Amino acid sequence: MAAYRSAAGFQRVLHAVKHVCFSKQRCGVIICRYSTVYDPNEKTFDKILIANRGEIACRVIKTCKKMGIKTVAVHSDVDSSAVHVKVADEAVCVGPAPTSKSYLNMDAIMNAIKQTGAQAVHPGYGFLSENKEFAKRLAAEGVTFIGPDTHAIQAMGDKIESKLIAKAAKVNTIPGFDGVVKNVCPSLEGYPVMIKASAGGDVRKADLGIFLKHCHFSFCNPRLHVLADKHGNALWLNERECSIQRRNQKVVEEAPSTFLDPDTRRAMGEQAVSLANAVKYSSAGTVEFLVDSKKNFYFLEMNTRLQVEHPITECITGLDLVQQMIRIAKGYKLQHKQSDIPINGWAVESRVYAEDPYKSFGLPSIGRLSQYQEPLDLPNVRVDSGIQEGSDISIYYDPMISKLVTYGKTREEALKKMEDALDNYVIRGVTHNIPLLREIIVHPRFVSGVISTKFLPEVYPDGFKGHMLTAGERRELLATAAALYVAAQLRSQKFLGDLRVSVVPAESRQWELCVELDKSVHMLGVSRSGNNYTVEIDGEKVEVSGEWNLASALLPITINGKHRTLQCLLRTAAGEISLQYLGTSFKLRVLSKLAASLSKHMPEKVPEDTSSILRSPMPGSVVAVSVKPGDNVAEGQEICVIEAMKMQNSMTAAKTAKVKSVHCKAGDTVGEGDLLVELE
């Protein structure tokens, strides 16, 4: 189950129903990591092809290796050096970069199956995972689809049919119209309305046009994870809380939910199993519900595939869900009863994206990972990723870097571990959303469990601005920058243990510095004793100590007795220092007292008038241009549309003016910051 709460008082709970098998001696034991218990006498498949890419392909390959199954990766030409290609036993190129010509190219994937002799296909999630035609073609060739049969995919894929089936199975359904919406009733305006395309997917693809302007909709609903075999056995694997979202896409998930009580969980799980049995479901799946403030729940839809956030379910149950899917596809029965399924501890998942969180809570970023270090040296941390240092984040695919998972005996423990993991996660070369993730994790509203699908716009109505420093945190940051500056100066004076600059005496232990932060200037006094620094700021003393390894990506230090992990993102000879502190990057400038007095005479750069120009906020392709030179545009009027990583973004005029020049056309590829349109 996953749970979400919408602004209208609904919570989305996902119940997962799955057919599972794990050794009985594991029951009742605190198991945080999922475990693949491989029985060599239980034969499944010799070779499996994974019809996917990135982290989910790597995740499936990992379990296959534990089960002694050979793997085949498919890839586009731009993914030829991807991690999933490297870790698989075999790899086949299925076409050029666009997904329609590669990962969605059924003909090419079928040829790859024949070429390699794969006996089964795991589709992962997305792409062909819920495509009944693909499942039919596999069946026709005698190849096993590791997922439900075509009947279940068809029945649950049609949102109207699935609701009718749910009603017949005595599953709670949302009161309302069960047919196809053909036109808009003006009286709906102002009411909370949830819309789903009848064939599933993004509602924007349903060609609802003007309807979207009259309603509020959200994909956040209650979900429950289910697992079922081919022998009529089914289990529900508890819920997942997925209410923290941006643009109807989940950002932070956790299991179990803070909202559900045992009775509601059981009732929801039993209905999820009833629905799975009604369509003779066999595999892992997720049943979505809407839950209101009184804990009344209503069926919304069923996702007939492995969910993105399945790791948190694995953490609290100890089950390897990919292994269970493979066993079920081979025809084995579930080996456990519902009473065997535990909730052991708490798990939290943060989706780490190559996105700029300061732009609409996350617009895509591309580039090469010049430095990449996952926080796997920390206890109870799991990272599901499909990239490595040197990997490229391109415009063609989803910008997810990884799924960062932490777990503990309690929610408080899991959240603290997530906080530490985010501080220790090193990502360079692309803009990422760690600043936003960390702010969510420590926000009082999130910590209290009072969350909804409107969390982000409600908590940050003017957009995300990064961490807002308290007076104490500001002193910590200033003191750290000053201590780091002095440590760097001392290191630069030494060569093989000898002073290079004789005018600086070795016994120097005090410095007067000027530190600039957010256009404010602070005079600091710094004294040093070994690796310990005392920094005086506005009459307050701050003690900072650490190893000061300037070559390390991480900067673990102690500030006034409190342990902190910072990252030095930039340090120049001109005194510029960028520090990642409490998740957010802060730009500082540290100068000696003399240098600061001279810098006042330097001319300031005049900022660009952004109201008269329109630059692309992200890399992508131009879908449409709505204006031409000489046109008059109003403030807020759409000028062009940029598509990046499966999202279309409308670019609008910042003021009422006449178009001076247009620098792009439909079909152009643009980079972040490229000039699109100039206004007079």
* Residues taking part in catalysis: 305
Cβ atoms of 645 and 98 closer than 8 Å: no
Nearest-5° Cα angle at 300, 297 to 306: 110
Dist. CA 482–CA 505, nearest whole Å: 19
Measured from the Cβ of residue 330, the count of other Cβ atoms closer than 10 Å reads 16
Dist. CA 4–CA 147, nearest whole Å: 25
Dist. CA 251–CA 403, nearest whole Å: 10
- ω into 342 cis (within 30 of 0): no
Dist. CA 571–CA 128, nearest whole Å: 46
The alpha-helical segments, DSSP class H, found in 368-423 are 411-423
The alpha-helical segments, DSSP class H, found in 67-124 are 83-87, 106-116
| Sign of the CA dihedral with 121 first, then 124, 128, and 133 last | positive
Strands (E), 425-561: 426-428, 494-495, 498-499, 510-517, 520-529, 532-537, 540-546, 554-559
Measured from the Cβ of residue 650, the count of other Cβ atoms closer than 10 Å reads 14
Q: Which helix (H) or strand (E) holds 313?
A: helix 310-317
Measured from the Cβ of residue 573, the count of other Cβ atoms closer than 10 Å reads 7
Cβ atoms of 316 and 343 closer than 8 Å: yes
Name the nearest CA neighbour of 146 among 120, 171, 127.
120
Dist. CA 329–CA 149, nearest whole Å: 10
Cβ atoms of 286 and 18 closer than 8 Å: no
Cβ atoms of 261 and 308 closer than 8 Å: no
Phi, psi of 452 (to 5 degrees): -150, 175
Cβ atoms of 2 and 258 closer than 8 Å: no
627-648: buried (b, 16+ CB within 10 Å) or exposed (e) per residue? beeeeebeeeeebbbbebbebe
Cβ atoms of 384 and 394 closer than 8 Å: no
For the record, the structure tokens of 561 come out as: 């007795």
DSSP 583-641: TEEEEEEEEEHHHHHHHTTSPPPPPP-TTSEEE-SSSEEEEEE---TT-EE-TT-EEEE
| Sign of the CA dihedral with 475 first, then 476, 479, and 482 last | negative
What does the radius of gyration of the chain's CA atoms come to, in whole angstroms? 27
The helix/strand/coil state of 385 is strand
